[in-house]
Structure 1
């Protein structure tokens, strides 16, 4: 993949970066070098390599997915102007 001058200007515009016209060829070369490196990475054989979450092997920390009220329902509802049985009461606004 190759980046042309118009694409460099568009990327700069989308990134809200002010780029002088004299800088466009330099940035074009840098972006093309980055894309060439990424293409080079796609040539690496990764068959049989397991995905990693870290460089050190470890299990992901998991918690049980339990539904609860957080144990502070009284504190949450304390500032409500009106409540009933830990529910906020709001005035009817639509008939």
Structure 2
């Protein structure tokens, strides 16, 4: 097993936005190869997404906007799992 440095973990984390431990584990499993580690993290993310796909999203926001020329409009609904998330400033600014 290759010795994994903190700079490798940081570089992978900066590119993928995954946790430090997930990045370290992926680097250990890939013997320090960052491209292979990114692929491992991507596959794990897909598995996690599949597990969460059936969760109910009972909270969210609806936004309505009209174009300045008044010829078109859009209604967008964005859903999330919790009211805590729905009230978050970042979520509501989308």
Q: Specify the structure having the higher radius of gyration (Cα).
A: 1
In terms of fraction of residues, the more strand-rich structure is 2
